[in-house]
Each structure stands twice: as structure tokens, then as C-alpha cells.
Amino acid sequence: MSQATTLARPYARAAFQLAQAAGKLPAWSNMLGFSAQVAAHPDVQALVGHPKVDGPALAVLVQPPGEVDPTFQRFLAELADNGRLALLPEIAGLYGRLRAEAEQVVKATVTSAVALDADAVARITASLKRRFGREVELATAVDPALIGGAVVDAGDIVIDGSIRTKLARLGAALAN
């Protein structure tokens, strides 16, 4: 586990608790996502920790445009005061996991050799929903190197039904 993740964890929990108490979990996801993208930009990272740039200015810089929740503004100000704005990408990722867990949602990615049609995605989503007993947010990706079949990655669980893996197992069995 990286030091950044360890440092980001209490801030992610605090953000989650603030958002949950206000009933604004999706809004905070969006705000954190925007701020994390800005904070990850190389030009902004060069400003973080620069002696001539103060924390409040950086907090305003990473703020989403338009009207922003005052609690979120205070959260960013707290991060800036503690020199932790660079942790925003990790905070946003951890917050997303906490939100998914609270909302009983499993985020999964299915990688296939060819693009899947809507019917196949719906069948895979339904199958994963039965297996996990939770709602499933499914993302898709294409990797022609799989040859055929698919690989489902749902966090700690990976289901590999690709032809590439089956051929590798067959090759290993024949080699022994």
C-alpha cells in the first residue's frame, strides 16, 4: 500500500461522511472527480508546495466551476491548509469505493476480444448481479490479444474465460 493512499484514507472517509450526512453522495463524486483531475495536472502539481503560492489560492484553483457546495469548499481549504491537495486523485478513488460499498454497487470491467453488443452486456450484467447479489456497474473494454472469450474484473474477483488463458493452460499441461 502506498504512502499516498495511507495519507488519503482519512480524508476520503471524512469526505464520504460529509457527503452522506448531506445526502449528496453523487454531487460530491462529481466535485471530487473534477478537483482530482485538476490536481493531477502537471502544471497544478508544480504549484503545490511552491513557497509563493498559498493554500487558499490552490483550493480555489482546484474547485469545480460554478456554484460549489460550501462544505466542499471548506473541505478543499482544509486539504490546502494541511498541504494535501496533491492527494485529491487518491481521495477521489477511495471515496468512490466507499460510495459503491454504501450503495451496494459492484463496479466491474469486462474485457473481450471484440466489442460486445448491448444484449451481451445486459446478459453479463444480469449474471454478475445474481452472483454478487448487488447492483453492477459494468464497463467494457476490447483487447484483441484475448483471441476470444472475456475477462471480468470485479475488484478482488477476476473471472478469466479468455481463449488466450485456456491456450496457456493447455500449453503448460502439455509441457509437463
pLDDT per residue of the chain (176 residues) written in tens, 0 to 9: 579 899 999 999 999 999 999 999 999 999 999 999 999 999 998 888 788 888 888 899 999 998 899 999 999 999 998 989 999 999 999 999 999 889 999 989 999 999 999 999 999 999 999 998 999 999 999 999 999 999 999 978 999 999 999 999 999 999 98
Describe the strand order of the beta sheet including 135-142 as a list of residue ranges.
Answer: 135-142, 105-112, 150-154, 157-160
Between CA 44 and CA 63 the distance in angstroms is: 12
41: left (phi over 0), alpha (psi -120 to 50) or beta: beta
